[in-house]
Structures are given as structure tokens and as C-alpha cells.
Structure 1
Amino acid sequence: MTITNAYSGTNVVEIADGIYRINTPVQLEGGGFSFNQYLVVDDEPMLFHTGLRRMFPLVREAVASVLPVERLRYIGLSHVEADECGSLNEWLAVAPQAVPLCGSVAALVSIDDLADRPARALKDGETLALGRHTVQWFDTPHLPHAWECGFLMEHRTRTLLCGDLFTQGGAKLPAITEADILGPSEAFRRQMDYFSHTRFVRPMLERLAGAGPTTLACMHGSAWRGDGAKLLRALADELDS
């Protein structure tokens, strides 16, 4: 682990080949929490999630510890929310070749208006080569929330950039774990009720499971390593109960 800001505790860990978790722990009312971004280092580097706008200096400092920020080519997001894309325009300002990367619905309803440059909009199932890494977009409307929601699967490392799925509370969690995250994430979900309860949960989770992820890059809490298909199906069972 590399601590890039001693005051905030912002840190960087490589969780898969060429994929780095940037983490900032915070103390909120009721307990600790964490905000993660994921940097894919390649010929056309991608940052997935920007973090909150006020976190921009911390995340920029962390990215710069791995590669020059002006090299960024894509600023990705799962859905439109402050911790997903709050500093999107700040990133576009410091990375002149970068464009937003999102699903076609997000581009249509929000990003092409909010962002200072037009998005590279991905259709459901579309792939994008970054160099050694290739990402594929999966539309997951209202899973866990937002019509435009979707996730990216990086095929070479079998890493699913899964946004708010498996959100875990707490600020002092390992960067990556093989321990249970379903129990803690379900406890958090039951307390906060942030899922939309769409009736299409199971087919969407089954489709993600079919991609065969072995690393889950969660936005809040630890990333996870193991049989991702089994864990996604277990989540579907929990949401059906």
C-alpha cells in the first residue's frame, strides 16, 4: 500500500494486473466509510469513478503517484451521482485528451449536458480496448439505483468494476479481501435501503455472473477476490428473499 496523503489517509493498492484501487477513508456521522476509485493503467488509461468534487485534490495526487494525470483518456462512471462523477469536469480540465465514459442512457440524459466534453457512450454489451485491457459495458438499470446505471467488466484480469454493489461500511478495511463481503454489504443495504428493488434483478445479476469475474472492484469498502459468479448469484438470492 502506498499512502499518498498522510492527512486524509488516501492510499493506492494494485488489486489486479494494471488496476489500482484509490481509497480515501472518511468519518461520517454514525461511523466510518470509504470512497474508492479504480485506475486502469494502459495505453489509454481510464479512471473509473471520480470521487466527490471536494476530493479531487486527493484523488489527483493519488493518480499522479501512478501515472501523469494528463495521460488519462477516459473518466468512467457507473451512474450519475456525486461520488461517481462529482469532479468530472475537473478531470477533463487536467487531462486534455480525456472524455467521459458511460452508458448510452447516462450520456443522453445527463453527461452530454453536464460535462465539458461529449461522452464516449457505450451501448449494452459494447467493448472498448484500452491496450492490454479490454472493458465491456453492461446496462443494469436501477441495479442498485438510477436508470442509467451500468458496470464495466475488464476481461483480461476478470475484474468487474461493480460500483455500488456490495457496499460495505467502515473506514479501516483491507484493500482487497477473500473474506465474506455479502453479509456486511447486506447489513448496510438493510439499514440504508438504497436498492431500487427492480423486478429484473436476477437476470441482470445472472448476466454479470456469466462474465465470470474473479475480482470485484467495489466503490465502497474492500475489493474482493474469489468466485464472483457465485457471489453475484448469492446476492440475487438475498434480493429475492
Structure 2
Amino acid sequence: METKVTEIAPDIYRLSTYIPDADFMFNQFLVDAEEPLLFHCGLRGLFPLVSEALSRVVPVERLGWLTFGHVEADEIGALNSWVAAAPRAKVAHGAMGCLVSVNDMSDRLPVPLNDGEVIDLGGRRVRRLETPHMPHGWDAGLLYEETTGTLLCGDLFTAIGDSPALTEQEIVGPALAAEDVFGATCLTAATAPTMLRLADLEPTALGLMHGPAYTGDCGTALRELAAGYAQRFERSQV
């Protein structure tokens, strides 16, 4: 295995590790700025690969922030490995997630973020967007990098298999196919409306945790994904 590094938007890097035995891809994202930020800490076992890949862009000890979408092994498994390697980095997560999980799990007390709160990294600005139970997790949330219009969208658009680093090809079909296999998304009355609020941002790029970075019509992709989940929610009510 190897971790590949691709710049998907100015100063935003995708750190991608494909695991052939699982036929599944795990992506993490580095926002390079005066205070570099890592979104998704990744699986603990992948820390050596990913930290070496990150160091090709910035020294690990320069990291200023460690963040993630929700509490799950592939998002926070290596959290304390990063904490040990990056002594100046602040851990940050949504306020609810800090209260119920991260205050206890992190070796460094986290900074609680409110919905819409912005972290100024110095040259880049990331906004925390609370998305509880979407796609899953009470504490779920995403990051929107305001200066490039890049939405780091976590488990949204999860696809099975390997993929190119960047694509403008359709990503909704593979995402709904994977959903029908895994059933990983919470189907609630708020699922589709939450996706539609993200679509209103009209992002210029989507950073997928399990799939390619998408540089096509991001707003339309989010609306089509919302429609697919709305249909599944309606069927679940019958």
C-alpha cells in the first residue's frame, strides 16, 4: 500500500490510501496555510504511511489543527498519534462531539466548534458545518474551505473501489450503489434537506473521504444525491 498526494484545489491536498483487500479507499485532507489543518486523522494502522505522505508537503510538527467529521475509527483512530507527533496542533471538533466523546478520547483537550464557526488558518478559512446524523453520527459535521470553495464532505458520496484522484465524471450513481450495499446513511426527514443546504453553497470542489475529489457541477451532484436519499426515505415509510 501507499498514500498518494494530490493537490485538489490551491493549497488543499488529498492524502489517499487504497486498501486492495477491502477494495476501499481512505482519504484525508491537508489544508496548507500558516496553521496547516488536517481533516480526518485516519485509521491508526495507516498513520506511518499517511504521516510520511503529509511530510512531503509540510513537516508534521508544523500542523496547527487536527479535525474530523465524526467519531469513527477511520476518522479518529490515529488522533493521538498525530497529537504526539504535532505538539502545537489544536484538536477541534463540533461542540456536541467534544462533550459526548472527544473530551475523553483525545490526549489533548479539544476546541469545541459551533455550527458555522470559522477557523482562520492564515491564508485559508475553514467553516464547521453541523450535519447531525448525516450521513451518520450524532456529532457529524463537515468543513467548507471558504477561499477556494472546497467542501470536505466526509462520507458523502462514498464509493466502493479504487478511483482517480480528480474527476468530473458522475459520482451520484456509485454513491447510491454503495449506499444500497452498506446502508450507512441515517434516513431521516432531515437527511435530504441537510444535503440541499450544502448544495446552496455551490462548492467548486468536493473532497470525498471514500472516492475521487470531484470538480464538476458540485451543487447539482449534491441535489441529485439528496433526491436519491429522499426516495429511499419515502420507501422506508411504507
Q: TM over 0.5: same fold?
A: yes
Q: What interval of TM-score do these two structures reach, taking the shorter chain for normalisation?
A: over 0.9
Q: Which residue of 2 aligns with 1:147?
A: 138
Residue of structure 1 aligned with 2:106, choices 102, 115, 118:
115
Shift of 1:40: 0.5
Distance in 2 (CA, whole Å) between partners of 1:104 and 1:198 is 22
Alignment correspondent of 1:14: 7
Cα distance, 1:203 vs structure 2:
2.1
Instruction: Give the superposition deviation at 1:204.
Output: 1.0
Q: Deviations over 1:4-53 (max 9, x none)?
A: xxxx1211000000000001110235xx1110000000001001011100
Instruction: Report the aligned-residue RMSD.
Output: 0.9
Equivalent residue in structure 1 for 2:95, among 85, 104, 111: 104
Q: Is the 8 A contact 2:43 2:77 kept in 1?
A: yes
Query: Counterpart of 2:186 in 1: which secondary structure?
Result: coil
Ranges in structure 2 where 5+ consecutive residues have no aligned partner: 232-238
Paired with 1:183 and 1:225, the residues of 2 have a C-alpha distance of 16
What are the equivalent positions in structure 2 for 1:135-174 lying under 5 Å apart? 135-171=126-162, 173-174=163-164
Q: Deviations over 1:83-111 (max 9, x none)?
A: 00100001000100112121111111111
TM-score for the superposition, normalised by structure 1: 0.94
> Normalising to structure 2: TM-score of the pair?
0.95
User: Which of 187, 205, 225 pairs up with 1:235?
Assistant: 225
Q: Would you say 1:221 and 2:214 are equivalent positions? A: no
Offset at residue 119 of structure 1 (A): 1.0
Q: Cα deviation per residue 1:129-180 (whole Å; 9 max; x = unaligned)?
A: 1111111111101101000000010011110010000011112x10010001
Q: Distance in 1 between matches of 2:104 and 2:70?
A: 14
Following TM superposition, by how much is the alpha carbon of 1:229 offset from its aligned partner in structure 2, in angstroms?
Answer: 1.4
What secondary structure sits across from 1:142 in the alignment? Answer: coil
Q: Which residue of 1 aligns with 2:197?
A: 207
Query: Hey, what's the Cα distance between the residues in 2 that align with 1:127 and 1:47?
Result: 15
Whole-angstrom CA distance in 2 between matches of 1:210 and 1:178: 19
Look up the match of 1:5: none
Percentage of matched positions with identical amino acids? 47
Q: Which residue of 2 aligns with 1:67?
A: 58
How many residue pairs align between the two structures?
A: 231
